[in-house]
A and B are shown apart, each in its own frame.
Chain A
C-alpha cells in the first residue's frame, strides 16, 4: 500500500523516481495521444465494485412491451445505499439530437442518495426528464440522458426476438445500444456539490466516479431493455443475448467542446491525474521485474492492442491515419521486444525514437497493465485540493525566473505573429455551450473566455519585467497591489510551479489549435476507447466496452478488460 509520504518522496527530492519531464508530458499533442489504462476512472470504478461486491438490484421495473416506463435499481455499497432512477420515454425521430442543446431524450437518469419512495419518485419524474430545464435537490448527485443508437438498437432487438444473436462484426463497428449526450454532477441543476459527494457519499469519492457509475448502469439497462422488448415482441422465439456478447456492448458517448475549458480551469486536478500516471510509469521503469512470464504477457498485450485498433472503425481520415500508424508502431514494438531487451527504460527510449506519439502512449498503457501491484494503489490519489494560492512573499526576481523556466514554452511563442491569437473560445447563450470562434467575430472576441494561459503569461511577464526594473526589491504582494489585473495569472503561475507537471503546454488561441487533443486527453483519463472524431470539435467514443456485467458481480474477476476485443462467434 503506497502512502502519501511515499508519493511525495517519489515525486520530488533526492529520492524522486525518474519521471518523464513536464515539457514532454504536458505537450498538448501527446496528451491527445493518450489511451485508456489501469488508472482510468472506469477501470478504478469497476475494480471497486467487483472487489467490494456491490449489490445492485432492480426494485422497480415498470416497463411496457416497448420498453417505456420507470426503473429503479438499488445500489448497496459498503458506505451507503443509493438509487439509480431511470425514465424511458418515446422520442419522436424529429426531436432526436445528440447535441447539448436538445430538449428531449430516449432515457433520462438520476443517481440518488438513499431509497426512493413514491413521493420522491414523482418529484424526480417531474424534473429528471427535463434535464437542464428541471431542478433537483441535494439528494441527487448525477443527472444524465441518452439516445438510442438507431442503427444498432432495432437490429439487436430484431435478432433476439428471432432467437438469434447479434452479429459481432456489426457490433465491432458500433459497440453500443445507447449514446449518452451529457452526464452532469458537481452541483449542477441543484444537485449535491462535489464537497458533499466527496465527504458523505464516500463510495464515489474519486473524480467522476459517480458520473462513470451512471454510464455503467445505463449500459446494463440498455441490454436489459433490448432483451425485454425482444421477449415481449416474440416470446416464443426469443433468446437472451450470450453474456460474452453482452460484455462487448459498451455505452456510446458524444463529447464536444464543453470538456475543453474544464481542463484549463482545473489545472491542479489535471496535474494530479498526470502525476499519478507518470508516477506509475516511473515505478515500473525502476521497480518492474521482467520475468519470462511477463515478457509473454507483453506480447499478448501487444497482440490485443493491435486487434483492438483493427476493430476500431472511424470515418475520420485523421483518426484512421493515427490508427494505422499505431498498428505499424505495435508491429515494430513486437519486433523490438522479440529481439530482447534488459529493461523498460531502453524499450521506452526506443519507442520515443521510432514510434508515433499514439504508439508511445500505447506502450505506456501496456506497461501499466503489466504491473497492477505498482499501479493500482495510485488510484486513491486522483483527488486534489484546488486552491490556486498566491505566494505573496515571493520576490519578483524569483517570480520572473519561475516564468522563464516553467513557462518557457509560452515565452517561446511570438504572439505578434498572425494567427497566434486568432482563435477565441466563448459561451453561447444556448445552454451556455462553449464554442470556438475567430477574433474576426467582434462579439465572440469581446466575450471570449480566459483560456489563453500562454498569452496571459506573456503579458504578465512583460509587465513584470517593467515593474522589476523600477522596484527590484518588491514582493509579489506589492506587485499585486500595483497590478491587480495580473492577480489571476500570477496566482496560477505560482500554484502550478508547486506541481510536478503544471499547465498544459499549448497556445489555445492559435488558429490551428486542435481541441480534439483536449477532449481525448480527458476521455483517456475516463477510460473510453474507439475514438471516432465527427469534426475537429467533437468526438464519439465508447465507454465500458468489455466491462463485467451486473450479473458478474460476486464472480471471479481478473480485471482484464483493457482494450476489449470482439468475442469469437
Chain B
C-alpha cells in the first residue's frame, strides 16, 4: 500500500514509544528507518528483521565505554539494536574528531548496524566526514561500508558477499572513522560489490518525495498495532478531556 513519509515517521514514533524507547530515542529510531527507506536502502526490510526484538532492549544494560583516549573509544552496546544506541556512538566520534582532527570509535555487540546511515548523514550535513564499516553473518559474511564527505547531504554505500568466515572477535562490531580535516570515502574491494553512489542515493530520495512509500500492508498494520499501546481507551471521561460539550 501507499503511505507518505510523514505517516511512516509518525507511526514508527508511536511504535517505538510503545516499545519502551525514551524521548529522543524514539524519534531517532523512526528517522533512521525512514531515512533508509526513503533513500532506497530497504529500511522497512531492516525494520521487519528488527521488529520481533525491539522490546528486548529495555532489559539490557545501557551502552558503556570500555576504552577511551583522545582519538578513539570502544563502546560495548550489550547486544542492543543500533536503533537505540548508534547515534550516541557517532556523536562521540564526531566530538573527538572536532577536538583532534580524526577519531575512531568501535562499537561491539550492536545489531541492525545498517541504521547508522542516518547518523552518518547528519554528520555530513553538519560539516564532518564519516565512514563506517561492518560485517554481517558467520559464514560467507557480507561486508558493508558507507561514507559521507563533509558538507554533503548524501552518503555512498556498498556491500559485498564474501567467502570469508567471521572471526570470533568481531561479531556485531562496527567501526566508525570521523574527521573534521579529511574527506573520507570508502568502497569495498570485492569484485562483486554492490555500490550505491551519492547520486543514486539522492535519486532514490527524489523518487520517494515524488511518490511516497510503498509498504506491505501486514507490516504497516503491525507497526500501527504496536503503536496503539500508547493510546488511551476511549471513555466518557476521556471525551470530556477533549473539551467537548
Tell me the A residues contacting B by CB distance below 8 Å: 99, 135, 137-138, 186-196, 199-200, 256-257, 387, 389-390, 392-393, 426-430, 432-437, 441, 443-444, 447, 450, 456, 475-478, 480-482, 484-491, 534-538
Partner of B92 from A437, A450, A478, A537 at Cβ < 8 Å: A478
B230 — nearest CB in chain A belongs to which residue? A447
Q: Interface residues of A: mostly helix, strand, loop or mixed?
A: mixed
A197 to chain B, nearest CB (A): 10
Q: Is the CB of B65 within 8 A of A487?
A: no
| A489 contact set on B, CB distance < 8 A | 23-24
| B62 contact set on A, CB distance < 8 A | 482, 484
Docked CA distance A195–B91 (Å): 26
| B7 contact set on A, CB distance < 8 A | 187-190
Q: Is B199 an interface residue (CB 8 A)?
A: no
In the complex where A190-B4, A535-B243 touch, is A389 in contact with B122 (Cβ < 8 A)? yes
Chain B residues 134 to 169 lying within 8 A of chain A, measured CB to CB, are: none
Q: Is B99 an interface residue (CB 8 A)?
A: yes
Q: Is the CB of A195 within 8 A of B5?
A: yes
Q: Is B238 an interface residue (CB 8 A)?
A: yes
Partner of A537 from B5, B25, B63, B243 at Cβ < 8 Å: B243
Q: Is the CB of A444 within 8 A of B232?
A: yes
A113 to chain B, nearest CB (A): 11
Docked CA distance A437–B212 (Å): 35
In the complex where A187-B4, A489-B23 touch, is A435 in contact with B241 (Cβ < 8 A)? yes
Q: Is the CB of A481 within 8 A of B2?
A: no
Q: Is the CB of A192 within 8 A of B4?
A: yes
| B89 contact set on A, CB distance < 8 A | 481
B63 — nearest CB in chain A belongs to which residue? A481
A533 — nearest CB in chain B belongs to which residue? B243
- Given A484-B22, A488-B24, 7 more A-B residue pairs with CB atoms under 8 Å apart are A195-B209, A196-B210, A429-B228, A430-B234, A444-B232, A450-B23, A487-B25
Docked CA distance A88–B242 (Å): 28
In the complex where A137-B2, A456-B23, A481-B92 touch, is A429 in contact with B233 (Cβ < 8 A)? yes
Q: Is B244 an interface residue (CB 8 A)?
A: yes
Q: Is the CB of A389 within 8 A of B243?
A: no
A-B residue pairs in contact (CB < 8 Å), sample of 8: A257-B242, A387-B122, A393-B99, A429-B233, A436-B241, A476-B91, A487-B28, A488-B22
Q: Is B245 an interface residue (CB 8 A)?
A: yes
Docked CA distance A436–B211 (Å): 36
Q: Is B56 an interface residue (CB 8 A)?
A: no
Docked CA distance A468–B62 (Å): 19
Q: Is the CB of A256 within 8 A of B91?
A: no
Q: Is B37 an interface residue (CB 8 A)?
A: no
Q: Is the CB of A536 within 8 A of B243?
A: yes
Interface residues as binary, B61-76 with A (CB distance below 8 Å gives 1, 0 otherwise) = 0111100000000010
Tell me the B residues contacting A by CB distance below 8 Å: 1-7, 22-25, 27-28, 62-65, 75, 84-85, 87-89, 91-92, 94-96, 98-99, 122, 125-126, 209-212, 228-234, 237-239, 241-245
In the complex where A435-B241, A450-B23, A481-B88 touch, is A190 in contact with B28 (Cβ < 8 A)? no
Docked CA distance A190–B63 (Å): 37
B197 to chain A, nearest CB (A): 22
| A480 contact set on B, CB distance < 8 A | 88, 91-92
B125 — nearest CB in chain A belongs to which residue? A387
Q: Is the CB of A477 within 8 A of B92?
A: yes
Q: Is the CB of A190 within 8 A of B94?
A: no
| B1 contact set on A, CB distance < 8 A | 135
Docked CA distance A431–B2 (Å): 20
| A490 contact set on B, CB distance < 8 A | 24
B202 to chain A, nearest CB (A): 13
| A435 contact set on B, CB distance < 8 A | 232, 238, 241-242
In the complex where A256-B243, A429-B228, A429-B231 touch, is A481 in contact with B4 (Cβ < 8 A)? no
| B212 contact set on A, CB distance < 8 A | 137-138, 187, 190, 192-193
B8 to chain A, nearest CB (A): 9
Docked CA distance A427–B10 (Å): 13
Docked CA distance A292–B53 (Å): 73
B214 to chain A, nearest CB (A): 11
Q: Which of B95, B126, B228, B237 has the most CB of A within 10 A?
A: B95
B75 — nearest CB in chain A belongs to which residue? A481
| A456 contact set on B, CB distance < 8 A | 23
Q: Is the CB of A475 within 8 A of B231?
A: no
| A428 contact set on B, CB distance < 8 A | 231-232, 234, 238-239, 241-242
In the complex where A187-B7, A447-B230 touch, is A538 in contact with B243 (Cβ < 8 A)? yes
6 closest pairs, A vs B, by CB? A488-B24, A537-B243, A187-B6, A187-B4, A487-B24, A477-B95
Docked CA distance A477–B94 (Å): 8
In the complex where A429-B228, A485-B22 touch, is A390 in contact with B91 (Cβ < 8 A)? yes
| B3 contact set on A, CB distance < 8 A | 190
Docked CA distance A475–B99 (Å): 11
Docked CA distance A392–B209 (Å): 30
Q: Is the CB of A475 within 8 A of B238?
A: no
Q: Is the CB of B244 within 8 A of A99?
A: yes
B80 — nearest CB in chain A belongs to which residue? A484
Q: Is the CB of B84 within 8 A of A478?
A: no
B228 to chain A, nearest CB (A): 7
B188 to chain A, nearest CB (A): 28
A154 to chain B, nearest CB (A): 22
B5 — nearest CB in chain A belongs to which residue? A193
| A537 contact set on B, CB distance < 8 A | 241-243
A182 to chain B, nearest CB (A): 13
Docked CA distance A429–B235 (Å): 10
Q: Is the CB of A484 within 8 A of B242?
A: no
In the complex where A187-B4, A427-B232 touch, is A393 in contact with B98 (Cβ < 8 A)? yes
A535 — nearest CB in chain B belongs to which residue? B243
| A192 contact set on B, CB distance < 8 A | 4, 212
Docked CA distance A422–B172 (Å): 44
| B64 contact set on A, CB distance < 8 A | 481
| B22 contact set on A, CB distance < 8 A | 484-485, 487-488
A271 to chain B, nearest CB (A): 18
A492 — nearest CB in chain B belongs to which residue? B24
Docked CA distance A318–B24 (Å): 38
| A199 contact set on B, CB distance < 8 A | 209
| B28 contact set on A, CB distance < 8 A | 487
B242 — nearest CB in chain A belongs to which residue? A435
B128 to chain A, nearest CB (A): 10
Q: Is the CB of A426 within 8 A of B244?
A: no
B229 — nearest CB in chain A belongs to which residue? A447
| B211 contact set on A, CB distance < 8 A | 137-138
Partner of A429 from B98, B125, B234 at Cβ < 8 Å: B234
| A443 contact set on B, CB distance < 8 A | 232-233
| A447 contact set on B, CB distance < 8 A | 229-232
Docked CA distance A190–B1 (Å): 10
Docked CA distance A444–B5 (Å): 28
Q: Is the CB of B232 within 8 A of A484?
A: no
Docked CA distance A535–B87 (Å): 43
A472 to chain B, nearest CB (A): 16
Docked CA distance A528–B239 (Å): 26
B68 to chain A, nearest CB (A): 8
Docked CA distance A188–B22 (Å): 25
Docked CA distance A489–B27 (Å): 12
A467 to chain B, nearest CB (A): 14
